Amino acid sequence: MLKRLTCLFLSLMILSAALLSCASGEPRHGDESRTAESGSASDKSGTDGASVSDPETESTAEPASEPVELMGPPVPVYEYEYAAPEDGSFTVCGIPLSEYKAVLYFPTDADYSLMVDEGTRMKKALKRMAETAGFELDLSTAKNDRYDTERKSEHEILFGYNFRREGIPEPDLKKNYYGVTEDGTVYFCAAGPLLYEDLFGMFLEEFFGVPYGSEEPSGGCAVSPFYRELPQMDAERLTAMGYSVVFEDDFDGDDLDWDVWEVRGPGPRYDYGAYVCGSQVSVSDGLFTITGEYREDGEYGAGLYSAFVRPKQFYCRGYFEASIRCSEMKYGSNDFWSAFWIQGPSPYSPEQSQGGIGPGGCEIDIMECWTADRYSVDFWVSGVEGVSGLSCERTDVPNLGNNYFEEFHTFALLWEEDYYWAFLDGQLVARNAHAYGTSNVNEEVLLTLCLPQGAFPDYVPRDYKAEMVTDWIRIWQKQP
């Protein structure tokens, strides 16, 4: 029953793809957190601001009404009632599937270099899914830096957004959608190439009668033209799923509400002269700012200063969202960078983490911002069989036409019993149950302007400042 419920959840919600292995050379705030003590609260006095209710931090209760029915969009995602053709054939608009060729597009050099290994893995996964359903998928991978108008075959299955064909909607990277045109072209368009495996699974479930994630063969298909657009995550959907707000702060005062917030681990961070300090935190005009800078007269001496800030209440499962304008990384790994993340008690200890399901939990990076239009979602655990040290899965979210250095965007995570789901402005960008499953322990929620991995080189001005600005933060949980 749980497996089927999960499949229905996947069907009616937005779905994302298997995540990339972390192989990037970027700095990670985890490097700091893996050596950090839990820290103590700031000694500042409380002010008005944040709102906290008593959370069910380990609740697994379902809402009284049917959650699957309530979660659905205004019009069901699945509108077609599957019926196998009498002859067991596989056709799209009357065209045999054997006449189709499929192409997985990586639209830019950056995407291709980030995802070429994952593309190979994804090709195998897509082909395996097709074989399980009962047909062969002739699939190739291509990189195109321009709009593609040349057909690769008479009949196509296209994964990507950089192609142009009659009947396919204009690309919109703020949506996840797929369909079949009048002439039988099958297309999948999403925020990034890593989403296509799950979208293909939804396609097979609705039109081939193959339950999502199953090994059941299809009885055939007779697909006609259609269009499916996956729903966004928003307050109405969360409420329908049985969630309510248990913590929120719109930062309307002139300081943080230190009754509910604290600075995590104040004091020295690195031996080159880097410090975490509450004086780097400010609130004004409804915005919460963490400033990173070099200070000659800092509380702990000359060096680089920033802040790690967290609610005093820790949480197990829920929906975590914050509207953030990220700091500009002018100097790469020598700069501060923005992170919104969740950390378990000891995810870096194999004995404690146990692949993410032990008492040490998991490190969940909801957002680490690297460029104006690229951030990543990361999951860190240890104690995975066959893996020495830490195990990480990463989803890079690049090239959506955003500017995270100048614009506020909402970064979010839905942490449930079976999966982690990451969202950007309500659009699903990642789904994961890395290693052995999701954490089931209380974990701390952090807003962090991470310190550079080393002292400023000579070319970085000593008066340089970086700012991470948060407009609001909310935490939702299911209530009994």
HEC sequence for 97-123? HHHEEEEEEECCHHHHHHHHHHHHHHH
Between the alpha carbon of residue 394 and those of residues 247, 300, 316, the distances in Å are 27, 35, 21
Cβ neighbours around 444 below 10 Å, total: 22
Q: CA 394, CA 434: separation in Å to the nearest integer?
A: 10
More confident site: 40 or 162: 162
Please report, rounded to a whole number, the percentage of residues in the chain having pLDDT higher than 70: 80
Sign of the four-CA dihedral 55, 60, 66, 69: positive
pLDDT average, residue stretch 23-40:
43
pLDDT of residue 294: 95
pTM exceeds cut of 0.85: no
Sign of the four-CA dihedral 182, 183, 189, 194: positive
More confident site: 403 or 459: 403
Q: What digits encode the pLDDT tens for the residues 347-403? A: 999 999 999 999 999 999 999 999 999 999 999 999 999 998 899 988 888 888 899
In the predicted structure, residue 8 carries a pLDDT above the cut 90? no
Q: What digits encode the pLDDT tens for the residues 399-423? A: 888 999 999 999 999 999 988 999 9
Q: What digits encode the pLDDT tens for the residues 156-194? A: 999 988 788 999 998 888 888 999 999 999 999 887 666
Q: CA 336, CA 449: separation in Å to the nearest integer?
A: 6
Q: CA 341, CA 318: separation in Å to the nearest integer?
A: 13
Q: Which two tokens stand for residue 428?
A: 């699903």
Q: What digits encode the pLDDT tens for the residues 259-308? A: 999 999 999 998 889 999 999 999 999 999 999 999 999 999 999 999 99
Could you tell me the domains of the chain?
A: 18-63+235-478 (2.60.120.200), 76-229 (3.30.379)
More confident site: 291 or 122: 291
Q: CA 335, CA 370: separation in Å to the nearest integer?
A: 10
